[in-house]
Amino acid sequence: MSLSSASSQIIEHVVLFKVKDETEPAKVAGMMSGLNGLTSLDQVLHLSAGPIHRNRSSVFKFTHMLHSRYSSKEDLSVYSGHPSHMSVVKESVLPICEDVMAVDWVADNVSGPVVPQPGSAMRLTFMRLNEGLGDEEKEKVLGAVGEIKDCLGSLDQMTYGENFSPARAKGFSIASIAIFPGLNELEALDSNPEVVQLQKDKVRDLLDRVIVLDYVVPPPQSASL
């Protein structure tokens, strides 16, 4: 697959990390370096890891995240079980993290680059539905998320979908990523939130909890690292 443009479908993989407060900066840098080094694995179309720019959740105190993309669920599975990935997790992630959450979804009808430009700003949203809701309510939430895409004028790309890996998702079943050219465009959205708010109000009663995070795509890791 060309890295310059996406196919109609990609697999999104997002992992959120809460680094322990007392962790030495060198160990945090080592975790980021190890995770970003996984971009060299054959199955990875895109991977970036770094600090969360802004965490809008009052309950979950995540500090860092990883975003990666794959051509298929099978490629994601191979990546997850790869010795290099397992080594980074065991040696650099688990010793310094007190909480980890992961969400995966199939993004359909994706247009634009597979690899977001360094400096791009992302808004990530994770939704946990109220207990006992069925497919009809879930489709209503997905529909409202899809309609938000049409309201964001400066948007470079947006994907959304239903999580297919529940084990580490803490019950969050719907996720989205909105990618903007930079922080200025993302912050402009916050200064004029009425349009997005109208869509959120349609499904607010169906949601138990929502996590919203902002992330800036870091520059590629130096090949010498």
- Alpha helices by DSSP H, listed for the chain, are 25-36, 73-81, 83-88, 135-149, 183-191, 194-203
**38 contact partners, CB below 8 Å, separation of at least 6:** 44, 47, 68, 79, 82, 84, 85, 88
Kindly state the average pLDDT of the residues 184-210: 76
Q: What gap in Å lies between CA 190 and CA 98, rounded to an integer?
A: 30
Using the predicted structure, report yes or no on whether residue 225 has a pLDDT greater than 90.
no
Q: Residue 143 pLDDT > 80, yes or no? A: yes
* Bridge partners, 175 (sequence order): 126, 161
Q: CA torsion, points 138, 144, 146, 152, in degrees to nearest 10?
A: -150
Residue 38 binned pLDDT confidence (cut-offs 50, 70, 90): very high
Give me the chain's average pLDDT, please.
89
pLDDT digit string, tens, across residues 87-104:
999 999 999 999 999 999
Give the pLDDT mean for 19-35: 97
The SS3 call for residue 99 is: strand
Residue type at position 186: L
State yes or no: pLDDT of 201 exceeds 90. Answer: no
Q: pLDDT tens digits for 155-183?
A: 899 999 999 999 999 999 999 999 999 99
pLDDT at 1: 39
Q: Would you state the pLDDT for residue 146?
A: 85
pLDDT tens digit sequence for 115-138: 999 999 999 999 999 998 888 999
Query: Residue 189: its pLDDT value, please?
Result: 78
Q: Determine how β-strand 9-19 pairs with β-strand 64-70.
A: antiparallel
